[in-house]
C-alpha cells in the first residue's frame, strides 16, 4: 500500500472525516483575490489579515521546503436544526461550532497525532519527513487549499461545501516535505442556487462568491470591537455569537451527518440560553460558563454587548429590566448597547 493510501486510512482512524492532498502552488489566484479583498476594506477591523500577506497569499512562501499540503476535514454536524432558535426571541442563538469545546484545541491534537504517524511511517519506509500543522491560527488560507485538494468547493457564501459532508466541517492543514500524490481540485456544484445569499439577514454578500465581512454577523459579533453600526443591529436578531444562516441554508446539507466527536455535541445550557440570564453575567461568571469554549476569547464586554442587541431586537418589553440594569455598566460599549435596547423596548 502506498504511503498516500496509508495516510488516508490513518486520518480516518484518527477521526478526520476526509483527507485530501494538493501542492502548495495549486492556488495561484490566491494573492490577487486577497489583495482585492483587502483593498476594498472588506476585512473590517481584522487588521491581521493585512499582515504577512506574502505568506497568506502564497503557501509556497510560507514554507519553501514544503512539497505537499494535506488538507483534513473535521465534521461538527449538529443534531438539531440551528435555525429553530431564531424564532425564540427571548433566547440566544449561538453558532453551532461554539456549542461546546474550542475546535482549535481538538483539531490541533488530531493534526499532531497524524503528523507524528506520518513522520514515523516515512522513516519506516527509509526516508525522512518534516511537517508543520495549522488550524485557523496562522497565515494559511485553508478554504482555497481545501478546494485545491478536493475536500470541497468554495460556495457562493465563500465557505467550503462538500458533497459528502455538506457545510458543517472544520479545516486543518499539514504542510510536509514529502512528495504525496495530489487529489485534484473539486469543481463548483452550486449551479443556479442562491439559498445562502438570499438568507443573509444583513446582505453581507455583494455578489456571489464575495463576502463583505463588515456586514457579516459572525464578524460583527466576534471580531468587531466597539459599537456595531445602528443600521445593522436589527439584522442581528437574537444571534449573539456567530451566525449559521448561510451554512444551514445550503441544500448540500442533506448529506451532512451528526458529529461523532463528543466534544462538538452541544452543551444543553448553550443550545438556547435565556437572554436575561446571559445579560446578568459579570466577568467571573462569563469566564466560568465559557471555560474551554471559543466564546471565551471575545470577553465579557463584547459578549454582553451582543446580548443587549438581541434583547433590543426581541420586541418583548418584559426583557427591558435586564438591559436597564446595564445602562450604567463600566464598559462604554455595553452602556451604549443597553441604552439602545432599552429605548427599543420602551
The residues annotated as belonging to the active site are 136
Residues facing residue 166 across a β-bridge: 162
The closest alpha carbon to 240, from 267, 272, 266, belongs to 272
84 grid coordinates: 429553530
47 grid coordinates: 487588521
Give dist(CA 141, CA 152) in Å, integer. 14
Instruction: Determine if residue 74 is left, alpha or beta; phi over 0 gives left, psi from -120 to 50 gives alpha, anything else beta.
Output: beta
Residue holding cell 446582505?
A: 203
Give dist(CA 69, CA 22) in Å, integer. 5
Q: Beta strand 93-94 with 239-241: parallel, antiparallel or unpaired?
A: parallel
125 grid coordinates: 519506509
Give dist(CA 90, CA 86) in Å, integer. 10
Give dist(CA 232, CA 324) in Å, integer. 22
Q: What is the largest CA-CA distance in the chain?
A: 74
User: What is the rounded end-to-end Cα distance, in angstroms, of the chain?
Assistant: 70
Q: Beta strand 18-22 with 68-75: parallel, antiparallel or unpaired?
A: antiparallel
Angle at 177 between CA 174 and CA 178, to 5 degrees: 90
The closest alpha carbon to 70, from 114, 107, 122, belongs to 114
Is 248 buried (19+), middle (13-18) or exposed (0-12) by CB count in 10 A? buried
Give dist(CA 213, CA 232) in Å, integer. 12
Sequence-distant (≥ 6) Cβ neighbours of residue 268 within 8 angstroms: none
CB 286 within 8 A of CB 303: yes
Amino acid at each position: 500500500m502506498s504511503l498516500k493510501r496509508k495516510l488516508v486510512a490513518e486520518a480516518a482512524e484518527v477521526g478526520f472525516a476526509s483527507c485530501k492532498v494538493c501542492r502548495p502552488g495549486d492556488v495561484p489566484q490566491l494573492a490577487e483575490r486577497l489583495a482585492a479583498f483587502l483593498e476594498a476594506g472588506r476585512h473590517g477591523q481584522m487588521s491581521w489579515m493585512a499582515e504577512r500577506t506574502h505568506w497568506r497569499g502564497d503557501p509556497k512562501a510560507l514554507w519553501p521546503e514544503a512539497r505537499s499540503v494535506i488538507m483534513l476535514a473535521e465534521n461538527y454536524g449538529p443534531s438539531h436544526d440551528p435555525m429553530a432558535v431564531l424564532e425564540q426571541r427571548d433566547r440566544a442563538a449561538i453558532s453551532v461550532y461554539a456549542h461546546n469545546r474550542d475546535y482549535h484545541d481538538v483539531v490541533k491534537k488530531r493534526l499532531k497525532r497524524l503528523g507524528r504517524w506520518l513522520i514515523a511511517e516515512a522513516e519506516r519506509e527509509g526516508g525522512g519527513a518534516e511537517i508543520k500543522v495549522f488550524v485557523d491560527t496562522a497565515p494559511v488560507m485553508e478554504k482555497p487549499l481545501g478546494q485545491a485538494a478536493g475536500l470541497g468547493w468554495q460556495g457562493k457564501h465563500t465557505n467550503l461545501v462538500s458533497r459528502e459532508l455538506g457545510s458543517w466541517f472544520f479545516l486543518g492543514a499539514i504542510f510536509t516535505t514529502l512528495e504525496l500524490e495530489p487529489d485534484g481540485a473539486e469543481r463548483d456544484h452550486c449551479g443556479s442556487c442562491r439559498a445562502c445569499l438570499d438568507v443573509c439577514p444583513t446582505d453581507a454578500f455583494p455578489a456571489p462568491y464575495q463576502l463583505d465581512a463588515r456586514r457579516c454577523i459572525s464578524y460583527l459579533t466576534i471580531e468587531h470591537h466597539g459599537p456595531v453600526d445602528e443600521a445593522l443591529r436589527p439584522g442581528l436578531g437574537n444571534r449573539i455569537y456567530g451566525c449559521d444562516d448561510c451554512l444551514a441554508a445550503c441544500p448540500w446539507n442533506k448529506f451532512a451527518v451528526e458529529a461523532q466527536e463528543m466534544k462538538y455535541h452541544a452543551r444543553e445550557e448553550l443550545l438556547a440560553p435565556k437572554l436575561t440570564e446571559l445579560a446578568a453575567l459579570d466577568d467571573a461568571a462569563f469566564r466560568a460558563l465559557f471555560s474551554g469554549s471559543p466564546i471565551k476569547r471575545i470577553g465579557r464586554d463584547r459578549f454582553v454587548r451582543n446580548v443587549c442587541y438581541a434583547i433590543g431586537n426581541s420586541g418583548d418589553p418584559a426583557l427591558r429590566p435586564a438591559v436597564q440594569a446595564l445602562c450604567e455598566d463600566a464598559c462604554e460599549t455595553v452602556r451604549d448597547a443597553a441604552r439602545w435596547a432599552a429605548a427599543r423596548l420602551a
